[in-house]
Structure 1
């Protein structure tokens, strides 16, 4: 996963407030529940010396995702009295939290974005238009393209149109061009089809070889009406995509396993990870989920200013640095600042020393 979306978090020096809040609306009186949760976090921020303007900037955004139904959350960052970044989360945070420190607590947001798979959902349904003699039939076509799982709560590009049934053969050609363009431009890896059996089957038969590996046909073709603010086919996509890695990530993990077989001391564990990020040598930062790294790091003002001890930073010629208790925050800043990617893998599938590793851009050997 690319980390460019985090750029606003590092555009200005800290301190910065990082808030994760459950803003679910699947309960009675959600606004009151959100307000109670926020008041607790507000007190915590002020107790840790956050300034009032920064706290107010966060407060202005809390609960503004009310158009999204069901379970979800918010990640909100503010600094120096201004909002820096606000995202709706596809799942509520594991716990509400509010931190005020020199680095943003970006790791929970990043992990909620994984595996970050580009997809499309396409539905084709017969509808009858009222008219003399019972009316005429049309095909209703709806499609949505996005990235899983973030577009669960911020539906992606959506289109909707109706066409006469007899025009479907020509529409198939047009739709297939759009899908191929989506694969070429956005790297779409899965296209989920559902709806009228005749229309869906004819689309699959006409698909060019480029799409064959991406097309998935749902057995149940009935019309799905998503809840407000939720993705089309959310439940089905969760089954299909939650335990999958993007093709690019699979290739990077294969490359990592090759490096680990040859040079494990350079690519696995917290010491190797810190050393690679210091040298801008990390192509990809790899975390185990759940993340469990029980130690602090020392960091300075630049992304590559991180080390296992303050003495190491002094040896690099730094005079201003601090001990950073949020190891994930330091590692994510370093990865984003050195244009490294990120992959999260379950611990039981690929256990890593200290729960962290790197794929190197070069090994130097």
Structure 2
């Protein structure tokens, strides 16, 4: 999972209210039931020590879901009386829950929102490419690239038979499509690139994409002129998520024991996080290390195993936090990604693949 969408949570200090709402049950409940659920969230936060303004903001956000179409669920993260982030969920949480802690409780998102990545769709044909962004927030156009003969402002040339020489031109000018696709992928930080078109065009583009996109490019089943349907996109997303998790576990297994390639266990992870060496954080839900207590300050990289160590980092008043949430905060701030893995992952439930050193 690309953690960039969590950035607003780490631009301000806590403590934070983290609320997960299961709306999959709403179809069989009354408006009164839903209002009582919102009231329950407010009371739970208040009992945990949350300030009145934040309790009220969380209650109002949950109550507003009565008027929204959320078939699965929604998460809310609030601080200082304001809901800062409210990502939709792609899988229902195990009931509605409310947490109050110094660091946002974001770890559940790895499972509840991980299979709904931002997708850059490229519709390819002999004329060029149309780009579209598809995400949980909807879809939007993302530009067009037209293929023209190099050095010419006119349309592709015609041969002696009056036939457009589109294929020869397309092959020569496909580099422009690739460059535009790479730029758009970086701009929107797309998790997945979906190519829609006939195999020859898709193969030319796929073969010219940079290695940084390896494992992120998929071709849809249908050819040129086809619209990417939601059902097809969901199939692609699900398959991509499964492959990515398996690949992450394989990479971790092969790198295990190499201190410059992978680490596991809270002490080693905390050190790597402070040094911004984490490339991808691996989290196994329910692992014992996820619940371990670490000490944090306001800055994402102010994290330590012991309170005294946090004070040595310049933290005036260290506060305890869950290891998984603190490490996710640090990973997001340093541009790392995160992945939910199975029992085949790190033994304690937390591990990381490390960035390669410049040397």
Structure 1 length normalisation: TM-score?
0.68
Measured against aligned partners, the alpha-carbon deviations of 1:235-287 in whole angstroms (never above 9, x if no partner) come to: 433543331329xx958974x55653433897121121012123333333222
Against the structure 1 CA distance between its residues 181 and 34, is the aligned structure 2 distance closer, same or farther, given a 3 Å change threshold?
farther
Contact 2:178 2:205 survives alignment (8 Å):
no
Q: Distance in 1 between matches of 2:52 and 2:72?
A: 27
Aligned to 1:120: 121
1:357 aligns with 2:356: no
Aligned to 1:7: 7
Measured against aligned partners, the alpha-carbon deviations of 1:196-216 in whole angstroms (never above 9, x if no partner) come to: xxxx6xx33444512379454
Q: Distance in 1 between matches of 2:357 and 2:201?
A: 46
Contact 1:284 1:360 survives alignment (8 Å):
yes
Aligned to 1:197: none
Contact 2:119 2:194 survives alignment (8 Å):
no
Measured against aligned partners, the alpha-carbon deviations of 1:171-210 in whole angstroms (never above 9, x if no partner) come to: xx7xx987873355217645365xxxxxx6xx33444512
Question: Aligned-pair distance for 1:77?
Answer: 1.5
RMSD over aligned CA atoms reads 4.6
Contact 1:23 1:34 survives alignment (8 Å):
no
1:347 aligns with 2:336: no
Contact 2:24 2:73 survives alignment (8 Å):
yes
Against the structure 1 CA distance between its residues 21 and 29, is the aligned structure 2 distance closer, same or farther, given a 3 Å change threshold?
same
SS in structure 1 at match of 2:112:
helix
Residue of structure 2 aligned with 1:282, choices 278, 282, 292: 278
Aligned to 1:242: 241
Alignment of 1:308-319 (within 5 A): 308-316=305-313, 318-319=315-316
SS in structure 1 at match of 2:268:
helix
Contact 1:25 1:70 survives alignment (8 Å):
no
Aligned to 2:263: 267
Residue of structure 2 aligned with 1:211, choices 202, 206, 215: 206
Measured against aligned partners, the alpha-carbon deviations of 1:323-351 in whole angstroms (never above 9, x if no partner) come to: 22x222211222223x1412314224x42
1:307 aligns with 2:295: no
Question: Aligned-pair distance for 1:49?
Answer: 2.7
Against the structure 1 CA distance between its residues 238 and 33, is the aligned structure 2 distance closer, same or farther, given a 3 Å change threshold?
farther
Q: Distance in 2 between matches of 1:362 and 1:204?
A: 35
Q: How many residues align?
A: 321
Q: Distance in 2 between matches of 1:185 and 1:357?
A: 31
Instruction: List, as ranges, runs of 4+ consecutive aligned residues in structure 1 with deviation greater than 6 Å.
Output: 121-124, 176-180, 223-226
Structure 2 stretches lacking a partner, 5+ long: 143-164, 210-216
Contact 1:50 1:100 survives alignment (8 Å):
yes
SS in structure 2 at match of 1:354:
coil
SS in structure 1 at match of 2:53:
helix
Aligned to 1:333: 329
Q: Distance in 2 between matches of 1:333 and 1:123?
A: 38
Against the structure 1 CA distance between its residues 155 and 31, is the aligned structure 2 distance closer, same or farther, given a 3 Å change threshold?
farther
1:320 aligns with 2:317: yes
Aligned to 1:130: none
SS in structure 1 at match of 2:86:
strand
Aligned to 1:55: 55
